[in-house]
């Protein structure tokens, strides 16, 4: 069989033109079918959370409420509370505990004289999220309104994002074998409600805020207090701002 | 699965207690490392004219192929939703090193390894298509792609093309295994993993493991075929193994010294972990038994030139220890990186189960499978001269090679 | 060219494979993927579609203005209803709220969650060692939960 150079060129050219033509035709047949909820305008919001360490009493309401609102499986946590106890300085090794994530509160400390406080933690919905960066398929993503969400019907369960999160806020839901984490109760805040954890916090230690809303109290909070994010050296753009965060907090 | 609260020492973030990546994820870099290393050894002859290692050329390629076929299996078993793995091809997230897996794997399998094997074996395939009987004949006929042209000119063309493929194949092999190192090395959240040296250390340890594997395979298969070992070949292979191992060891020591010297916030926690939970796998298996001892054995053969019989024993022993050591290295990276808390205040344990999806049993099965595949490949595409002559001698008559 | 025919066939095989892949891609990539970023836009709707468990204080206010008035006059003014009463969306948002009548929480168990003395709690926060304070009696026997102060 003799193939000339000309034949090769002609055949290749045909393929090069036909393939995108076929692709475009298929696209036309399928059409685009998504429609986002019209009342909540994504571009008008940018969410962040403030946490006041001076006010947290470690009651565990937030942990229980979140588990209830978001169907969180036992033993895994979308949010949790840690207790820090520092006996002496230099405090190279604070004593930290989080019994069942603080779900049932905390037993009395064995060293009542130590400096101690509670630190609630959750997904920081990082603006430069390392978890989004490493997802191989786009099953976790940053939205325009500042949230990092998970697409549970797309997630492969590879667990790379769990490894990449510096804060330990992601876990694999054993029932669905996909990743899960705090969503800032997006299903609530997009309807004008507050998050489950903020709703049930009895001391208002936790507050969700909309940075794009000029009337939101978060602006005053951030302006008038010393705030810090967890692991600032990681430059994740974390958006959970802590007031009175001690330097011992990991 | 119940969280392992009882196995925690100190404090761990509540979601950290359970390990995410199991022994299957230890296996994957080990397997791709063997592939990359075996290919590099093959390319020594093809591209760098180290013709002493020619007796292992085809064996190295087939070994690489057998292991490459198995490589995606531990990943598939590990995934929460393996049926969605096609997504990596459909919507790869280009910022994720893991997303390139599908493409790099497919590229390396099809465009490099399969093509190179095909080009090298093409003459044999054409002849086997004519001489064999039964269903096997159809297998060979398909493999010829319908062309029976084995003229001298076409074979020369194959040779030139094969050379180019090998040249492309070397950086491809680096990419196939290097990206795995990058997957770990780029995770800033994990100080045990996060270092620019990680892809390079992975790559050199891959080369070491691949060379050791092919060396052992060559010794084993030659013994099975009751043939004489080409000592010049073995001596050359072990020399390259020695050099690669020295480089690998130096790189790992560099990483260690750097960590100890800088002593950043993670150091105390990691140091404690290595001396307690990782003592057996890191200090004993990886460093002493798996690196220092084989290096000493190989150095002995280089410096003192013992007799043939003794060299064979030393090479075999060094090869086995090397493979154990490199496996231990993968274990220490993957499992070790998950044993300590990112708060640097605690540790957990890895409870490896036995007969579950990610347990020891499937891991063992996955390590045996490549050898079974290799056995099949050797039967289908005999790497050795004498056997191909025997197959052809019956029906076809004379063959010159 | 004759001697390269087999190589051309190989190249053609690869080309066919790539084209097949491109066509599969067209069919299998979810609709709208990449429109707002590297994700499936339907995912945002999926997250938003989750049913609500906590109705929110504003909802309770609509039917229970008296309780709210008492609450606002006391120390628990800023505590949400569901912080103590638990998730009540099924009750508050239902057509027939009485179908999901909430159960009153037991104050023996409820109150100590916040008010049991713990050295890690802020010093100014009202807390007692309940065993010494009430000797096992329910908090309700002295305190009114919606207006807990004793004066």
ipTM reported for the complex, 2 dp: 0.91
Confidence of residue A16 (pLDDT cuts 50, 70, 90): low
Asked whether the predicted pLDDT for residue A148 surpasses 50, the reply is: yes
pLDDT in tens, B287-344: 999 999 999 999 999 999 999 999 999 999 999 999 999 999 999 999 999 999 999 9
Question: Which residue in A has a C-alpha nearest to residue B97's C-alpha?
Answer: A134
Neighbours of chain C (3+ CB pairs under 8 A): A, B
Inform me whether the C-beta atom of residue B83 falls under 8 Å from chain C C-beta atoms: no
Taking Cα atoms as reference points, which of A135, A129, A137, A134 lies closest to residue A154?
A137
> To 10 degrees, the CA torsion angle through A162, A163, A166, A168?
40
Confidence of residue A23 (pLDDT cuts 50, 70, 90): low
Question: Which residue in B has a C-alpha nearest to residue C22's C-alpha?
Answer: B90
Taking Cα atoms as reference points, which of A77, C111, C25 lies closest to residue B103?
C25
- What does the DSSP assignment read for B322-371? HHHHHHHHHHHHHTHHHHB-TTSSEE------SSSTTSHHHHHHHHHHHH
- Average pLDDT of chain B is 92
Q: How far is Cα B140 from Cα B138, in angstroms, rounded to an integer?
A: 5
CA–CA min distance A77, chain B (Å): 6
According to the model, what pLDDT value does residue B401 have? 34
Question: Which residue in A has a C-alpha nearest to residue B147's C-alpha?
Answer: A1
CA–CA min distance C39, chain B (Å): 9
> Does the beta-carbon distance from B342 to A168 stay under 8 Å?
yes
**Beta bridge partner(s), residue A119:** A82
**Beta bridge partner(s), residue B340:** B347
Mean pLDDT of the region C100-107: 90
Phi and psi at residue C115, to the nearest 5°:
-100, 0
Domains of chain A, residue spans: 1-32, 37-250
C75: its two tokens: 């120390």
> Does the beta-carbon distance from C56 to A5 stay under 8 Å?
no
CA distances from A37 to A2, A33, A41, A208, B51 (A): 61, 13, 8, 21, 68
Confidence of residue A219 (pLDDT cuts 50, 70, 90): very high
> Is it true that domain A37-250 has CATH number 3.30.70.20?
yes
Tell me which of C3, C20, C36, C40 to substitute to probe the interface with B (most B C-beta atoms closer than 10 Å).
C3
Of B80, B82, B343, the CB nearest to A96: B343
According to the model, what pLDDT value does residue B387 have? 47
Tell me which of C2, C6, C11, C33 to substitute to probe the interface with B (most B C-beta atoms closer than 10 Å).
C6
Q: How far is Cα A34 from Cα C40, in angstroms, rounded to an integer?
A: 9
Question: Which residue in A has a C-alpha nearest to residue B18's C-alpha?
Answer: A171
> To 10 degrees, the CA torsion angle through B127, B131, B133, B138?
20
Of C33, C46, C120, the CB nearest to A83: C120
Neighbours of chain A (3+ CB pairs under 8 A): B, C
- Average pLDDT of chain A is 90
pLDDT in tens, B195-219: 999 999 999 999 999 999 999 999 9
Confidence of residue A189 (pLDDT cuts 50, 70, 90): very high
- What does the DSSP assignment read for B87-140? HHHHS--TT-GGGGHHHHHHIIIIIIIIHHHHHHHHHHHHHHHHH--THHHHHH
């Amino acid at each position: 069989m003799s193939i000339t150079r000309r034949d090769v060129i002609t055949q290749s050219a045909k393929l090069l033109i036909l393939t995108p033509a076929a692709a475009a035709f298929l696209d036309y047949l399928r059409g685009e079918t998504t429609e986002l909820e019209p009342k909540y305008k994504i571009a008008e919001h940018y969410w962040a959370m403030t946490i006041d360490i001076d006010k947290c009493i470690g009651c565990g309401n937030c942990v229980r409420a979140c588990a209830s609102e978001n169907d969180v499986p036992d033993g895994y946590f979308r949010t949790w509370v840690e207790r820090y106890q520092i006996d002496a300085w230099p405090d190279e090794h604070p004593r930290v505990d989080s019994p069942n994530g603080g779900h049932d509160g905390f037993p009395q400390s064995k060293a009542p004289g130590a400096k101690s406080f509670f630190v609630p933690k959750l997904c920081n919905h990082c603006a430069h999220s390392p978890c989004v960066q490493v997802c191989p398929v786009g099953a976790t993503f940053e939205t325009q309104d500042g949230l990092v969400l998970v697409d549970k019907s797309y997630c492969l369960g590879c667990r790379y994002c769990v490894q990449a999160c510096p804060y330990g806020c992601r876990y694999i839901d054993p029932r669905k074998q996909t990743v899960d984490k705090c969503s800032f109760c997006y299903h609530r805040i997009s309807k004008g409600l507050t998050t489950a954890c903020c709703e049930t916090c009895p001391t208002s230690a936790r507050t969700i805020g909309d940075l794009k809303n000029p009337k939101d109290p978060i602006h005053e909070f951030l302006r008038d207090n010393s705030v810090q994010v967890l692991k600032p050296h990681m430059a994740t753009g974390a958006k959970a701002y802590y007031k009175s965060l001690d330097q011992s907090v990991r | 699965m119940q969280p392992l609260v009882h196995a925690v020492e100190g404090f761990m973030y509540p979601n950290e207690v359970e390990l995410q990546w199991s022994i299957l994820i230890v296996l994957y870099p080990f397997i791709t490392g063997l592939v990359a290393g075996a290919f590099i050894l093959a390319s020594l002859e093809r591209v760098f004219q180290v013709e002493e290692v020619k007796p292992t050329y085809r064996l190295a390629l087939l070994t690489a192929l057998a292991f490459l076929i198995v490589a995606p299996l531990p990943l598939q078993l590990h995934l929460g939703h393996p049926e969605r793995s096609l997504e990596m091809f459909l919507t790869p997230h280009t910022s994720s090193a893991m997303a390139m897996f599908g493409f790099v794997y497919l590229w390396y399998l099809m465009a490099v390894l399969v093509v190179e094997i095909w080009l090298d074996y093409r003459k044999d395939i054409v002849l086997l298509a004519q001489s064999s009987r039964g269903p096997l004949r159809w297998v060979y006929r398909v493999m010829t792609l319908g062309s029976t042209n084995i003229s001298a000119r076409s074979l020369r063309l194959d040779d030139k093309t094969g050379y180019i493929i090998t040249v492309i194949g070397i950086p491809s092999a680096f990419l196939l295994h290097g990206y795995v190192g990058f997957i770990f090395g780029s995770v800033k959240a994990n100080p045990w993993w996060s270092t620019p040296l990680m892809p390079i250390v992975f790559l050199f340890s891959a080369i070491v493991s691949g060379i050791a594997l092919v060396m052992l395979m060559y010794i084993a298969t030659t013994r099975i075929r009751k043939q004489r070992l080409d000592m010049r070949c073995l001596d050359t292979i072990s020399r390259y193994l020695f050099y690669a191992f020295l480089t690998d060891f130096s790189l790992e020591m560099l990483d260690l010294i750097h960590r100890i010297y800088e002593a950043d916030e993670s150091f105390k926690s990691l140091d404690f972990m290595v001396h307690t939970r990782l003592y057996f796998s890191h200090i004993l298996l990886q460093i002493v038994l798996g690196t220092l001892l084989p290096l000493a054995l190989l150095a002995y053969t280089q410096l003192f030139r013992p007799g043939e019989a003794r060299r064979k024993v030393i090479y075999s022993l060094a090869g086995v220890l090397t493979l154990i050591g490199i496996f231990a290295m993968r274990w220490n990276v993957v499992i070790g990186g998950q044993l300590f808390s990112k708060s640097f205040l605690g540790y957990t344990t890895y409870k490896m189960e036995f007969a579950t999806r990610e347990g020891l049993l499937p891991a063992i099965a996955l390590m045996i499978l490549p050898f079974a595949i290799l056995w099949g490949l050797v039967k289908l595409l005999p790497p050795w001269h004498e056997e191909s002559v025997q197959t052809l001698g019956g029906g076809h008559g004379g063959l010159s090679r | 060219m004759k001697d390269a025919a087999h190589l051309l066939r190989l190249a053609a095989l690869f080309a066919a494979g790539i084209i097949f892949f491109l066509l599969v891609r067209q069919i299998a990539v979810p609709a709208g993927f990449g429109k707002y970023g590297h994700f499936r836009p339907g995912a945002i709707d999926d997250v938003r579609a989750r049913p609500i468990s906590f109705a929110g204080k504003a909802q309770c206010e609509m039917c229970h203005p008296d309780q709210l008035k008492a609450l606002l006059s006391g120390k628990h003014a800023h505590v949400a209803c569901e912080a103590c009463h638990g998730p009540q969306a099924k009750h508050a948002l239902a057509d027939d709220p009485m179908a999901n009548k909430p159960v009153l929480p037991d104050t023996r168990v409820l109150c100590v969650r916040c008010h049991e003395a713990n050295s890690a709690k802020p010093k100014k926060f009202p807390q007692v060692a309940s065993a010494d304070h009430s000797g096992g009696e329910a908090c309700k026997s002295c305190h009114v939960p919606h207006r807990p102060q004793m004066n």
